[in-house]
Amino acid sequence: MQLDIQEIKKIIPHRFPFLLIDRVTDLKPNDKLVAVKNVSINEQFFVGHFPDEKVMPGVLIIEAMAQAGCIYFYYSKDLIGKNLVYYLGKVTARFFAPVVPGDQLRLEAETGKFLAKTGIVKTRALVGEKLVAEADLAFSVKEV
């Protein structure tokens, strides 16, 4: 399954400039998710991070992985149209390389451990085949 930006906006409430996923290219609930974020020189955060050596802030890489993990959790727990998913926080996170303008961030998510209303999603961020970050992220369901 694939999701375009309009379908993504139905699942997560983020909007410009904080929507950090451009497209979900592959989604198999309870198996894996692959999404992409095209990193443009026009991103607002590059104005100050850093003016002479543009680098995507690590916290925004985690946020992009969290948004991908949220969509994965939403579909894997079959919450479609019924619930909101909240990001609870990072369990672990590691960074391996910088992300710069012109990169395409490939975000991957898979099941860590799911309980009734919470879960851990294992996420990775890659540029090409190079691993730039990984994190285990916690999510919870809020019934609406």
pLDDT digits (tens, 9 = 90+) for 11-61: 998 898 999 999 999 999 999 999 999 999 999 999 999 989 999 999 999
Domains of the chain, CATH where assigned: 5-143 (3.10.129.10)
pLDDT digits (tens, 9 = 90+) for 81-117: 777 888 998 899 999 999 999 999 999 999 999 998 8
Catalytic residues: 49
Q: Where are the beta strands (DSSP E) in 65-143?
A: 83-95, 104-114, 118-127, 130-143
- pLDDT score at 144: 67
Q: What is the DSSP string of 27-77?
A: EETTTEEEEEEE--TT-GGGGTS-SSS----HHHHHHHHHHHHHHHHHHHT
Q: What backbone torsions phi and psi does residue 74 show, to the nearest 5 degrees?
A: -55, -50
Q: Between 119 and 13, whose confidence is greater?
A: 119
Tokens standing for residue 61 = 């890489």
Q: What share of the chain is helix, strand, coil (3-state, %, to 5)?
A: 20, 45, 35
CA distance 59 to 21: 14
Q: What is the DSSP letter of 21?
A: -
What's the one-letter identity of residue 82?
A: K
